[in-house]
A and B are shown apart, each in its own frame.
Chain A
Amino acid sequence: MSDAGVPTVLLSPRDVASESAGARAALIAVALGFLTLFLVLPLAIVFSEAFSRGVAAYLTALLDSDARAAIALTLTVAAIVVPLNATFGVAAAWAIAKFDFVGKNLLITLIDLPLSVSPVVAGLVFVLAFGAQGVLWPWAAAHGLHVIFALPGIAMATVFVTFPFVARELIPLMQQLGSAEEEAALTLGATGWKAFVTVTLPNVKWALLYGVLLCNARAMGEFGAVSVVSGHIRGLTNTIPLQVEILYNEYDIVAAFTLASLLALLALVTLAFKTYLEWRFVGAARRRGAG
């Protein structure tokens, strides 16, 4: 499961086709028609609706105080979540890719587990733990710690939901790279940390960056889990997606799509970066193949 991402990055399509030209054209038409219907139109309508009353209305919606509070909270959550999951991803990838130990496959499966859990269930587990009837409630209350309906709960739920993103990018790549280069560095007298910084990190920096970007996009866009723990307090515990929901339910369509367009833009930047990386890796693989 965890190695599904790498081959698509490294493979280069070739023009091998034995279907008739007619069949080929029909298949391409079906594929493009389906993708237009399900991907292009939903993306296009975000920007079309956001700018439907002009640039001035867009800017007004963007500069609204609740919108700015939502943007600030979203940035804060991402600033907490992304470094945590990036650190975890690097540590897990080092342990899993560089060593052989019992139970490794189980560990990989468990790391992927949050991807198969419904976001609503992810939010619920933190409500059950820290909510008014939760097992950790007395402890949190005694320390004056507000978790649910507050920033810590939002951050925890987001950490859970975005848990495997960096690890999933790094593990298959580091497994593929092996550890011969690091061992050579150690033989030459480098410390383990130095070998990691000077050998491993440069080798995996693009995958790491992509994992971070993906984790960030998901952290900023998470809806279900955050919706359960946040309590929807305007100007206080609303992230951008929650603010989008509130505006949409109030029929403030332009404002809802204005904030949504920020997240759509972030998604497009993430996809563009992934495409750039694929182009880079496919190019590098071809050069290696030719050399």
Chain B
Amino acid sequence: MTLSIAGAAFKKPSALPGFAPTLGFTLFYLSLIVLLPLGALVAKASGLGLGGLWAVAVEPRVLAALKTSFGAALAAASIDVVFGAIVAWTLTRYRFPGRRLVDALVDLPFALPTAVAGISLAALYAPNGWLGAPLAALGVKIAFTRWGILVALTFVGLPFVVRTVQPLIEELDRELEEASATLGRIALPPLVPGLLAGLALAFARGVGEYGSVIFIAGNVAYVSEIAPLVIVVKLEEYDYVGATGVAAIMLGVSFLMLLAINLLHAWSRRGLGHV
């Protein structure tokens, strides 16, 4: 970002005051609220050792839940990439009545509390619900099955894809000022890193999601139980070691996803520069 000279000081000189107190407070607050509690979890988990963590991970119920969480999050993120790209393209490039309203609504899953999303999706897709009833007539059951998890995670992940891709389409638009860009041919390749970043963000959010899922999922062990719910169940059974183990595995995945997302963002910015 900035030119750094070898052996340069920790901070570049500046005329502005307030560096030490603001950075000091930032680091203190960050340590107190985020790093120490997470560190305590990691310390407790490392007490289990790698063997202990592995033993927790391969417990049949935990393994099934991890597979469900990761599988559903990946499937939902993929759906979000397809429809999120179409939504972003439509909102950025076309003008139609109500466009601004629709654009504002895209952030709804960010703003709507997960428990509210959970009960409304469950009510919608329940066998007597607005969507559940016609689907039930066709013999399709969504609520209280694994499909419910997919619906909830698709809802939660959508804005991540749209908001990641939207500025890239706008930028692309400017760079291809005169060229005829259509979604399929010219525009898609430069958007790939952005779409992958959106996928990773939606996936990362989906893996850890709890509130919107548990109301619609049915929560049957080995079938429709997500990993965060297993942590809650273990806590209720006072199995602190098991809960810590599952949490440590999920935290490890979060770190990897964060790393991947940062790399993808860097790639997508560089990628656009070469268009």
- Measured CB to CB, the residues of A under 8 A from B are 1, 4-5, 7-8, 11, 13-19, 23-24, 27-28, 30-32, 34-35, 37-43, 45-46, 49, 84, 88, 91-92, 94-96, 98-102, 104-105, 107, 109-114, 116-121, 124-129, 131, 133, 135, 156, 159-160, 163, 179, 182-183, 186, 191-193, 195-196, 214, 217-218, 220-224, 227-228, 241-242, 244-245, 248, 253, 256-257, 260, 263-264, 266-268, 270-272, 274-275, 279
Using a Cβ–Cβ cut-off of 8 Å, how many residues does chain B contribute to the interface with A?
107
> Of B105, B151, B247, which contacts A39 at CB under 8 A?
B105
- Chain A residues, Cβ within 8 Å of B16: 98-99, 179, 182-183, 186, 192, 195
- Chain B residues, Cβ within 8 Å of A84: 29
- Asked if residues A27 and B89 are in contact (CB atoms below 8 Å), the reply is yes
Query: Shortest Cβ distance from A114 into chain B, in angstroms?
Result: 6
- Asked if residues B105 and A121 are in contact (CB atoms below 8 Å), the reply is no
Q: What is the chain B residue whose CB lies nearest that of A213?
A: B111
- Chain B residues, Cβ within 8 Å of A128: 37, 40-41, 44, 240, 244
- Asked if residues B228 and A95 are in contact (CB atoms below 8 Å), the reply is no
Please measure, in the bound complex, the distance between the C-alpha atom of A133 and the C-alpha atom of B239, giving whole angstroms.
11
- Asked if residues B104 and A42 are in contact (CB atoms below 8 Å), the reply is no
- Asked if residues A117 and B208 are in contact (CB atoms below 8 Å), the reply is yes
- Bitwise, B214-226 to A at CB < 8 A (1) or not (0) is 0100000000000
- Chain B residues, Cβ within 8 Å of A227: 210-211, 232
- Asked if residues A7 and B167 are in contact (CB atoms below 8 Å), the reply is yes
- Chain A residues, Cβ within 8 Å of B4: 102
Question: Apart from A13-B93, A31-B89, what 4 extra A-B contacts exist at CB < 8 Å?
Answer: A27-B89, A28-B90, A43-B120, A116-B257
Please measure, in the bound complex, the distance between the C-alpha atom of A1 and the C-alpha atom of B183, giving whole angstroms.
25
- Asked if residues A125 and B257 are in contact (CB atoms below 8 Å), the reply is no
- Chain A residues, Cβ within 8 Å of B100: 275, 279
Please measure, in the bound complex, the distance between the C-alpha atom of A196 and the C-alpha atom of B91, giving whole angstroms.
37
- Chain A residues, Cβ within 8 Å of B87: 31, 34-35
> Of A45, A179, A267, which contacts B108 at CB under 8 A?
A267
Please measure, in the bound complex, the distance between the C-alpha atom of A177 and the C-alpha atom of B37, giving whole angstroms.
34
> Of B11, B131, B182, B209, which contacts A100 at CB under 8 A?
B11
Query: Shortest Cβ distance from B264 into chain A, in angstroms?
Result: 10
Can you give 7 contacting A-B residue pairs, CB < 8 Å?
A16-B173, A38-B155, A43-B108, A88-B25, A98-B14, A100-B12, A110-B34
- Chain A residues, Cβ within 8 Å of B155: 38-39, 42
- Asked if residues B163 and A4 are in contact (CB atoms below 8 Å), the reply is yes
B74 close to A (CB within 8 Å): no
In the complex where A28-B94, A128-B44, A264-B116 touch, is A105 in contact with B1 (Cβ < 8 A)?
yes
- B150-179 contacts to A (CB < 8 Å): 151, 154-155, 158, 163-164, 166-167, 170-171, 173
Please measure, in the bound complex, the distance between the C-alpha atom of A8 and the C-alpha atom of B167, giving whole angstroms.
6
In the complex where A38-B158, A105-B1 touch, is A241 in contact with B40 (Cβ < 8 A)?
no
